Structure 1
Amino acid sequence: MANANIDFNYGGIKMKIAVSAAGKTIEDLLDMRFGRCEYFQIHDTESGDIKVLENTGQKASGGAGIAASNQLVDENIDIIITGNLGPNAFEIIEKSGVKAYKCSSIVVGEAIEKYKSGELEEIKMSGPAHHGSN
């Protein structure tokens, strides 16, 4: 589904941006809990389409970040916008060549605009492990 509310013109750069989200629309909040978020929204800058995935790791008793990371790597994403990445998730993301950016809990559309304007900080080290916590 295309969305006219976000300008996906990234200077001709084609990429897939995944956002950890509490809901399925750009008006929903970014979820700070990468491994335990309910959804991932994948925004395609070439087509303007948004693909929504249920996070396979959200209900895992352990290894939620690992499951979530692998799910996104399998989707061939280029960028992740989230709150924090635990050590295992960070390692998978880093080894895959995907770049992750830290954002506060704001609406998804605003988070993407902040990324686009260079306002988000790249995640260069993992946050704490949460071991099954919500």
Structure 2
Amino acid sequence: MRVAVSSTGPTLDSPVDLRFGRCPYFLVVDMETMAYEAIPNPHMAASGGAGIQAAQLVGNRGVQAVITGIPGPNAFQTLQAIGIPIYQSKGGTVRQAVEDFKQGRLVQVAQPGPSYAGMGFGGSGRGWGGRGMGRGRWFGAPVPPPPGVQQPPVAPAGNSELSSLKRQAEELKRQLEQITERIRQLEEKEG
């Protein structure tokens, strides 16, 4: 079995990075041999969509599970859609996290964490070179916790998982419609 672990560095003794989409490395570890591949995360500084792109990156490596903190909604939904379960690390090194996973000590993440909504464009306004406030969810979004600070998983109660998934599906449909419309606008502009 191969697992992907979000990491701050390229070795098994590197600390686990509890951020998924913006971690510096993913270590793809063979659980039987502990052989691993360190993959630099090219999406860690993306202005948006880092979680989706990171999920696709590890999914393309043929992993059967992900060990990280609690990913945001986009990464969570993408990993769920491609059938990769997510397990919450308790911190420590990648080696320790893999051992905890082998021993069944990690909890499967049931729901996504908050949306971090991109890195912005050089700041959040107010003289920092950004584009200002009031641009919807791209600015003023919750600040991600610093590395090493965990957020507990939120377990759904009863049928709330079904309603949560339906809400997430509707949100994804809305986002897809917006993206499709923007593509159409850009194509008209170019053509």
TM-score band, normalised by the shorter chain?
0.7 to 0.9
Query: Which of 28, 31, 46 is the aligned partner of 1:45?
Result: 31
For 1:104 and 1:128, the matched residues in 2 are separated by 18
**CA 1:117–1:124 in structure 2 vs 1: closer, same or farther (change >3 Å)?**
same
The Cα RMSD (Å) is: 1.3
Q: Which residue of 2 aligns with 1:76?
A: 62
Alignment check: 8 A CA contact 2:31 2:98 kept: no
Q: Which residue of 2 aligns with 1:102?
A: 88
Q: Give the alignment of 1:1-134 within 5 angstroms.
A: 15-133=1-119
Note the C-alpha offset of 1:41. 0.2
Percent same amino acid at aligned positions?
37
Structure 2 residue matching 1:84: 3-state secondary structure:
coil
Alignment check: 8 A CA contact 1:62 1:131 kept: yes
User: Number of residue pairs matched?
Assistant: 120
For 2:35 and 2:97, the matched residues in 1 are separated by 17
For 2:94 and 2:32, the matched residues in 1 are separated by 18
For 2:34 and 2:12, the matched residues in 1 are separated by 12
Structure 1 residue matching 2:91: 3-state secondary structure:
coil
**CA 1:48–1:109 in structure 2 vs 1: closer, same or farther (change >3 Å)?**
closer
Which segment drifts farther, 45-54 or 110-119? 45-54
Alignment check: 8 A CA contact 1:56 1:67 kept: no
For 1:47 and 1:117, the matched residues in 2 are separated by 16
Note the C-alpha offset of 1:46. 4.7
Q: What is the CA deviation profile of residues 52-106 of structure 1, one whole-angstrom value per residue up to 9, with x for unaligned ones?
A: 1011220101111011001011111101000111111111101111111001321
Structure 2 residue matching 1:80: 3-state secondary structure:
strand
TM-score if structure 1 supplies the norm length? 0.85
Note the C-alpha offset of 1:49. 1.8
For 1:110 and 1:49, the matched residues in 2 are separated by 14
**CA 1:60–1:51 in structure 2 vs 1: closer, same or farther (change >3 Å)?**
same
Where does structure 2 lack aligned partners over 5 or more consecutive residues?
120-143, 145-191
Q: Which runs of 4+ in 1 moved over 6 A?
A: none
Structure 2 residue matching 1:51: 3-state secondary structure:
strand
For 1:131 and 1:45, the matched residues in 2 are separated by 33
